[in-house]
Chains A and B, each alone.
Chain A
């Protein structure tokens, strides 16, 4: 039997708009998130990522466009939508006056989950996130990595169908970050739809099935991470730093797809080792490397390199 909800996108945004006074934070963006997908929203600081997800969980009123979650209208059905959502905020907004376990159980009561059920789920979540040995600890005693895990665990207390993560790994050490990624992958396997914002390109490339890059409130591109790399920067990048003599002229003469950053020159190419040999042979013996193209290259190429905010 086909479940009718199966075919409806979990999130469907159409010409979504958010203004703060005269400032347009989200400027008519449209995207869909399918069931079971891990979808990324990437963008520099102030691009409109957080504004977008705040509208999705019914925190911010829309300024324009339409937005449905589970096929329901966020403005009118916010309560039933939120019952099926888990949100992991950018800040560790845990209840510092309570213990690790209480944070989970009390959050369960906000969803109207009966105490015995919440207790059982808290036990499972503490186990899943490796927090069981710290269940009686005060939140203030936890390290940054443990706090992050607790925030994520708390977002799962209502067994959400959609998990929203706003920059979940900001400020974490590499170990904690890897571990969190692993946990997200496990959740995805269980069928949880995940919406993630981040400005760590490695994170997005590893985790996301599909993503959008937004800047100044607009969508610049949408696609699978690998496709985007292939399409916008090629699979390979020749990087010269400091820029070798004569290389600039060579690149211009050959009309190669490149970016000149002053002290660094990036040449985007598609599996062209001959080009690399030519360049290293003629211009640069040192100071020149051939590497894989990355999502970070795509991101910087599309959003520019100047500092934000």
Chain B
């Protein structure tokens, strides 16, 4: 890093490559979760819930509950993968392994290290989404080719949640403090972002709150890509929201990490 000024080049890919190499050694473990998770959910909600909620209306379409829930499953997985990678895993590399200290003695800047890490977080989201798409396809819950739009969406969502996670990594005092954003942000989003029930069923004020959450937009986009029709409105509002939030959180993450690492 230039101690004084900001410097970001393609060299960040070298850090991404390091993460890729490390992950390749334990790929079977990283694949297990996105492989099994949708199967468990489909089994629980598809079989167990069917009696309670046979089907529901979403944007004028009648869909089974499992079909309604499947894209939300992918969306939450996109959120968790990048967020966990850029909080717990990045924190371990930064604080316990001191990997960043070592890399900062090579021709890489702090910005490049952190960007490489966020790109890797987004890659993990993309990989998880890919595995889940394949699994859910086997249950006939995915419609092609529209659903392929989920892949770039996964990467964008990964960048967004990874940047949010990395911003926290820049400020937390210890690794246990990540419980706070998880309990106060991620878990509420997981429950109230239109994941398990349509947002329209909420009272007006709660709907308004739900639409401020990034996961709501990710879920909405994933859903119209799997069984709805992607309108310009969706792309503009939800896509725009995710892009804008990434554009805000990514530099925030870089600034927080600069403050933390450059002494």
B255 smallest CB distance to A (angstroms): 15
Within 8 A of A (CB), among B10-50: 11, 14-15, 17-18, 21-22, 25
CB pair A93 B99 closer than 8 Å? yes
Contacts of A116-174 to chain B: CB distance below 8 A: 154-155, 158
Q: Given that A91-B101, A93-B101, A96-B97 are contacting pairs, would A59 and B14 also be in contact in the complex, using a CB cutoff of 8 Å?
A: no
Minimum Cβ distance to chain A for residue B84 (Å): 16
* Minimum CB distance partner of A59 in chain B: B104
Q: Are B97's CB and A95's CB within 8 A?
A: yes
Chain A: interface residue count, which band? 35 or more
- Chain B stretch 219-263: residues in CB contact (< 8 A) with chain A: 262-263
Chain B nearest CB, measured from A168 CB (Å): 14
Q: Mark A13-47, 1 if CB is under 8 A from B, else 0.
A: 00000001000000000000000000000000000
Say yes or no for A301: interface residue by CB 8 A criterion: no
Whether A111 contacts B105 in the complex (CB less than 8 A), given A93-B97, A93-B99, A97-B22, comes out as no
- Whether A224 sits at the interface, judged by CB under 8 Å, is no
Cβ of A75 and Cβ of B22 under 8 Å apart? no
Interface size on B, residues (CB 8 A): 27
**In the bound complex, do residue B1 and residue A78 qualify as a contact, i.e. CB atoms below 8 Å apart?**
yes
Choose one: A80, A85, A94, A106; the contact of B105 (CB below 8 Å): A85
**B2 beta carbon closer than 8 Å to chain A:** yes
Interface check B3, CB cutoff 8 A: yes
Q: Is the CB of A60 within 8 A of B3?
A: yes
Measured between alpha carbons, how far is A50 from B97 in the docked complex, in Å?
19
Chain A 48-64 per-residue mask, 1 if CB under 8 angstroms from chain B, else 0: 00000010011111100
Q: Is the CB of A89 within 8 A of B101?
A: yes
Is A98 located at the chain interface by the 8 A CB criterion?
Answer: yes
Residue A270 is within 8 A (CB to CB) of chain B in the complex = no
B18, A109: Cβ atoms under 8 Å? yes
A112 proximal to B (CB < 8 A): yes
In angstroms, Cα B103 to Cα A112, docked, is: 12
Q: Are A87 and B99 touching (Cβ within 8 A)?
A: no
Contact at B2–A75, with CB atoms within 8 Å? Answer: yes
Q: Does B102 contact A (CB under 8 A)?
A: yes
A232 is an interface residue with CB less than 8 A from chain B: no
Contact across chains for B107 and A93 when beta carbons are under 8 A apart:
no
Cβ of B51: which chain A residues have Cβ within 8 Å of it?
A: none
Collect the chain A residues with CB atoms within 8 Å of residue B21's CB: 98, 102, 106
Chain A positions within 8 Å of B, measured between CB atoms, are 20, 54, 57-62, 75-76, 78-80, 82-83, 85-87, 89, 91, 93-98, 102, 106-107, 109-112, 154-155, 158
30 contacts between A and B (CB under 8 A): A54-B263, A58-B1, A58-B2, A58-B3, A59-B1, A59-B3, A59-B263, A60-B263, A61-B3, A75-B4, A78-B2, A78-B3, A80-B107, A82-B105, A83-B107, A89-B101, A91-B98, A91-B101, A93-B98, A95-B102, A97-B97, A106-B17, A110-B18, A110-B103, A110-B107, A111-B106, A111-B107, A154-B102, A155-B105, A158-B106
Q: Add 5 more A-B contacts to A93-B98, A94-B97, A98-B21 (CB < 8 A).
A: A57-B105, A58-B2, A78-B3, A82-B107, A98-B25
List B residues at the A interface (Cβ < 8 Å).
Answer: 1-4, 7, 11, 14-15, 17-18, 21-22, 25, 97-99, 101-109, 262-263
